[in-house]
Structure 1
Amino acid sequence: MMKRILPHPALSAMLLVVWLLMANRVSVGGIVLGALLALVLPKFTEPFWPDRPRVRFGRALLGYLVIVLYDIVVANFHVARLILFRRNRDLRSRWLVIPVDLTTPEAITVLAATISLTPGTVSADVSADGGYLLVHALDAPDPEAEIARIKTRYEAPLRRIFA
C-alpha cells in the first residue's frame, strides 16, 4: 500500500525540500503544494524508473557528504592560492582518464557530479560503456596520485552507498 502512494520516497522528500527552498520561506500553503507535488510527480515518472537504484541512506551517505563538503571548501582555498600566487605557466593541468568500477548509471553520475563540484577539477566525458571518466584537473603534478585520490575518496564510498 505504501509503495503505491510513495513509489520513490527519497525523490518525494527531495522534491518537497527543493520546493520549499525555491519558495524561500516555509508556509502552510507552500508545504501543502510541495507535498502534493512530492506525491504526484514520482507517481507520473514511475514508468521511467524500471530499475530503481538501491541507495543506502545512513552512515555511509552522511560520511560521503561530509567528505565532499570538506573537499569543496579546501579546494576553493587551494584554487584561490593557485590563481593568486602562481603564474599560468607553472600550472600543471592534465587530462585524467579514470577507470570506474561503479556499475549503476546513477552512481557514475554522482561521481562525475562530485568531481565537477570540487573546484579545480571537472568531469568532461563518460565513456559509452561507463567504464571511464575523462576529467580535467587544473593542477595535477602527479596524475596517478590524483586518480588514486578520486577512486579512494569518492568512488569507494559510492560503491557502499549504491550497493
Structure 2
Amino acid sequence: MTRLFPHPLLSVVLLVFWLMLQQSAGLGHILMGAIVGTIVPLAARPVIGERVGLRRPLKALQLLGVVLVDVIRSNVAVFLVLLSPRPKPTEGFIEMQLKLSHPLGLATLACILTAVPGSAWLEYDQDRSTVLIHVFDLVDADEWVEIVKTRYESLLLEIFP
C-alpha cells in the first residue's frame, strides 16, 4: 500500500484541493482528484524523500492559527503604514540566530516569514545557523527577533523531530 501511496496525507490534501478548485464533488471530479492524488506523490517521491513525521500534530494546528492571525494583523499594519502621513517606512534588515535545524522546519519558517506581510526571509547561513530577514517597517529589531523566536520557532521546534 505504501508503494502506491508513499505520502498518503499529501494524496488526501491533493484530492481535497482538486475538489475545491473544481467546486464540485461529482464522481468524475472525485476520480480525477484521486488520480492526481496518486500520481503526483509517486512522481515527487525522489524529490520529497523520506516520510516526514510530526512529533506534535496539535502544535501544527496551533502554529497555523498563530500564522493566520499574524497574517491578518500584519496586513492591517502594512495598510496603516502605507496610509500614514509619515514620509517613509523605516525598513531594515535583521540577522538572527536560530535553534531550528530541521530542513522542513526551516522551509516552513521561511514560508511563514515571507507570507506575513511586511517581512521576507532573505538568506540562511547553515554554518552559523543564522537567518537574514528584511522588515518593511522596522521599529524595534529586538521585538522582531522575540516574535519570530516565541511565536514561530518555538512551535516549529516542538513539531519537527
TM-score of the pair, normalised by structure 2: 0.88
1:101-132 CA distances to partner (integer Å, 9 max, x unpaired)? 22222111110110111111111222255822
How many residues align structurally?
A: 161
Q: Determine which of 124, 132, 135 is the counterpart of 1:134.
A: 132
**Cα contact 1:120–1:137 (8 A) shared by 2:** yes
C-alpha distance after superposition, 1:122-157 (max 9, x if no partner): 112222558222111112221022111111101111
Q: Which range moved further: 25-34 or 51-60?
A: 51-60
Contact 2:7 2:41 in 1 (8 A): yes
- State how 1:150-161 maps to structure 2 within 5 Å: 150-161=148-159
Hey, what's the Cα distance between the residues in 2 that align with 1:57 and 1:141? 34
Q: What percentage of residue pairs aligned between the two structures are identical?
A: 30
Match of 1:49 in 2: 48
Residue 96 of structure 1: SS of its match in structure 2? strand
Equivalent in 95, 100, 103 of residue 102 of structure 1 = 100
Q: Which SS does the other structure have where 1:72 is aligned?
A: helix
| d(CA) in 1 for partners of 2:118, 2:47 | 34
Structure 1 portions without partners, runs of 5+:
none
RMSD: 1.9
Closer, same or farther: CA 134–24 of 1 in aligned 2, 3 Å: farther
- Contact 2:56-2:158 at 8 Å conserved across structures: no
CA distance in 1, matches of 2:85, 2:16: 41
Q: In the aligned structure 1, how far is the partner of 2:61 from the partner of 2:29? A: 27
